[in-house]
Amino acid sequence: MEILKKPQYFKKICAYLFIGGMLPGLSMADTSSKDHLYHKRIELHEIEVKDNLAKTYLKKTTSTATKTDTRIRDIPQSISVITEEQIKDQSLLGLKDAIQYSPGVMAGQGEGNRDSIWFRGNQSTSDLFVDGVRDDVQYYRDLYNIDRVEVLMGPNGMIFGRGGVGGVINRVVKEAAWENKNEIKIQGGAYDHKRSSVDLNNRIDETLAVRVNAMIEDSGSFRQGVESERKAINPTFTFKPSDKTKVVVGMEYFNDKRTSDRGIPSVDNGLKSYPYSTSRSTFFGNASQSPNEAIVKNGYAIIDHTFDNGVSVKNHTRFSDYDKYYQNVYANGQVKEGDVKISGYYDNTQRQNFFNQTDLTYNFKTGSVKHRLLTGLEIGLQENENYRINATSDTLVSASNPFTALTFNSYRYRNTSTDISNQAIYIQDQIYLNEQFQIIGGLRYDKFKTKFNDSVAPENSATINDQFISPRVGLVYKPIEPVSLYTNYSLSYLPRTGEQLTSLTSSIKSFDPEKISNIEFGIKYDLLQSFSISSAIYRLERSRMTITDPSNSSNTIIVDGQVTKGFELGVAGKLFDSYSMYGGYTYQDAEITKNQGTGATQILSGTTLGHVSKHTFSLWNKYEINETWSAAIGVISRSDMYAATPTTTTAVNLPGYTRVDAAIYANINKQTKLQLNIENLLDKTYYQSAHNNNNIMYGYPLTARATVTYTF
Q: Are 183 and 194 in contact (CB under 8 A)?
A: no
List of residues 6+ apart from 604 with CB closer than 8 A: 592, 595, 648
DSSP, collapsed to helix, strand or coil, labels residue 88 as: helix
Q: Are 488 and 534 in contact (CB under 8 A)?
A: no
Kindly state the percentage of the chain with pLDDT values over 90: 85
DSSP, collapsed to helix, strand or coil, labels residue 641 as: strand
Q: Are 189 and 705 in contact (CB under 8 A)?
A: yes
Pairing of strands 672-679, 414-432: unpaired
Query: What is the tally of structural domains in the chain?
Result: 1
Q: Is the pLDDT of residue 486 over 50?
A: yes
State which residues form the domain around 29: 2-711
Q: Give the pLDDT confidence score for residue 506 in this predicted structure.
A: 84
Q: Are 664 and 681 in contact (CB under 8 A)?
A: no
Q: pLDDT digits over 682-708, tens only?
A: 999 999 999 999 999 999 999 999 999
Q: Is the pLDDT of residue 14 over 60?
A: no
Type and span of the H or E element at 3? helix 2-5
Q: Per residue in 671-703, is it b (16+ CB within 10 Å) or e — as a string?
A: eebebebbbbbeeeebbbbbbbbbbbbbbbeeb
Give the model's confidence band at 554: pLDDT under 50 very low, under 70 low, under 90 confident, else very high: low
How confident is the model over 199-226, as a mean pLDDT?
Answer: 98
Closest alpha carbon to 318 in 501, 160, 135: 135
Closest alpha carbon to 387 in 351, 421, 362: 351
Indicate which CATH number applies to the domain containing 163: 2.40.170.20
- Alpha-carbon gap, residue 120 to 609, rounded angstroms: 11
Kindly state the percentage of the chain with pLDDT values over 70: 91
List of residues 6+ apart from 541 with CB closer than 8 A: 516, 517, 518, 560, 562, 563, 564
Q: pLDDT digits over 24-80, tens only?
A: 343 333 433 333 333 333 444 344 444 456 689 999 999 999 999 999 999 999 999
Stated pTM of the model = 0.92
Q: pLDDT digits over 141-183, tens only?
A: 999 999 999 999 999 999 999 998 899 999 999 999 999 999 9
Q: pLDDT digits over 279-311, tens only?
A: 999 999 999 999 999 999 999 999 999 999 889
- Residue 223's identity, in one-letter code, is R
